[in-house]
Amino acid sequence: MKKWIASAGIFAAISMGLIACGDNSSSAESSSRPGSNDYCKVVSTDPFLIESVENGYFSQTTVKYEDEKLVEKVVFDDAIAAQMACDSYKKDVSYGKVVCKDNTIAAIGRDIMTSSEYRDVLTLFSTMCEGDAHREDISSSSAERLSSSSERKSSSSRNVNSSSSSKTVSSSSERVESSSSSETSSDEDENWYGKTTYKKEKVVAANAAELECPENTTTDDLTGYDVAYEFNDPNDLGRDYLGENNAYADNKTSPVSAECGSIIFNGDNGLLVPLTDTFKTRGFVVEVRFMPSYDDEVGNLIVSESPGGSTDGWVLRLERTGVVFYYRDADQSSNWKSVDVGQVSLDEWHEVRVKIFPKKPEYGSIFYSMNVSLDGSLVLVSEYKDDTSDLAYGFGIGYDSMYQMSHNNWFFVGKIDYIRYGKITEDDL
């Protein structure tokens, strides 16, 4: 691979037979620091971490295998070096997603990679960075971890196939039985961009043992939705009733509580939804039924709260007692656009619904429209020229999972009955 600053990329490394610190040629794109010596060393093997100095610039590179793709995180000590490396990453077609912020680059490989291929990459890195010293250590530790990961993925795939055949909410007893076969690993995962850790296991309400909830026999029609958080089971509050986009408990926040049929947020808790391709669509519908109990400056309902101004995102939140929908198409502008949905009252149930969808006129090309409603009343119909499908961050339910500067003031206080989301594509026309 060429130096990080020159072209930065693991997939390029494989094809070129070089590694970040293995190519000591000069780079026209970077300026060397006099008196600095380039070096590269493997700091740890699980997680796989490389520390290097190239052209005098220090960086640490973490490599992970997630969702059958290679994920890199590079942290530089110099903002200029990071920017140059960022530009190279974004030009590299080997990556499906590249997010740059300050001195950090996070890049996700475009192609599916097998665990064997991933081990080969680690071996290549280790061999070319420090010779053969770490080869055996890497192969054994990674094989064990990846084998466990593959088993969880296999179980997850079976659950997707079985759940997709039904679009109705089942009874409480059926949900518990079905959940027992879902992914319950206690391994910690990390939302890299927001530096949030969480455990991939069921979210159990803090007061679950005190609740005696009757079986839910209702069969709400969930046709048109792909994700549904119904919050009906206090012992599995984060379950996605329609797929595998489960929500998890953030290790940094306090536990959530529940009532029979709803989840309770106290201003210091929330759930994290890792980003999946389900949410990466221009057209979608999102619906939330909620009851605010505190007149706060900001209360997040469900948000992909992308920091900075270089990535897409959308936000559904309360500001005092006003519901606001924010969205940003970073290709058009770094600024957020907003829709004032309307005012709500405290301690009463309300329902907000945002729908962005394609329309095919009798003559002319397809265009997108946005409809917004509050408590069943349509409050906005407008043409929608933005595209927020290029998301880079997961979702926070009830809070800002990115932990930005003002996140402590953005917790929702109240109850949420359900959150439902459906993707709408032009194929649906």
Q: Dig out the tokens for 187 from the structure.
A: 């391994």
Q: Does the domain made of 168-428 have the CATH classification 2.40.30.10?
A: no
- Residue 330: predicted pLDDT: 92
Give strand pairing partners of 316. 302, 325
- Residue 128: predicted pLDDT: 66
Alpha-carbon dihedral of residues 91, 93, 97, 101, nearest 10 degrees?
Answer: -20
**How far apart are the C-alpha atoms of 197 and 192, rounded to whole Å?**
8
The pLDDT of 301-309, averaged and rounded, is 87
Whose CA is closest to 60, among 104, 99, 98?
104
Q: Dig out the tokens for 80 from the structure.
A: 């200029």
Q: Which residue has the higher pLDDT, 50 or 276?
A: 276
Q: Are 69 and 45 in contact (CB under 8 A)?
A: no
From the number of C-beta atoms within 10 Å of its C-beta (0-12, 13-18, 19+), residue 122 rates as: buried
**How far apart are the C-alpha atoms of 194 and 192, rounded to whole Å?**
6
Residue 414: count of CB within 10 angstroms of its CB: 24
Q: Which residue has the higher pLDDT, 417 or 32?
A: 417
> Which range, of 86-95, 139-148, 184-193, 286-295, averages the lowest pLDDT?
139-148
Edge-to-edge strand ranges of the sheet holding 271-273: 248-249, 271-273, 395-397, 299-303, 313-319, 322-328, 337-343
- Residue 200: predicted pLDDT: 83
**How far apart are the C-alpha atoms of 50 and 168, rounded to whole Å?**
48
Express each pLDDT in 321-374 by its tens digit: 999 999 999 999 989 999 999 999 999 999 999 999 999 888 889 999 999 999
Q: Where in the chain are the domains? A: 10-130, 168-428
Give the type of residue at 164. Answer: S
- Only one residue has tokens 């200029």, namely 80
Express each pLDDT in 206-253 by its tens digit: 999 999 888 765 668 899 999 999 999 999 999 999 999 999 998 888
Treating both helix axes as pointing N-terminal to C-terminal, what angle do 115-130 and 135-163 enclose, rounded to 10 degrees?
Answer: 160
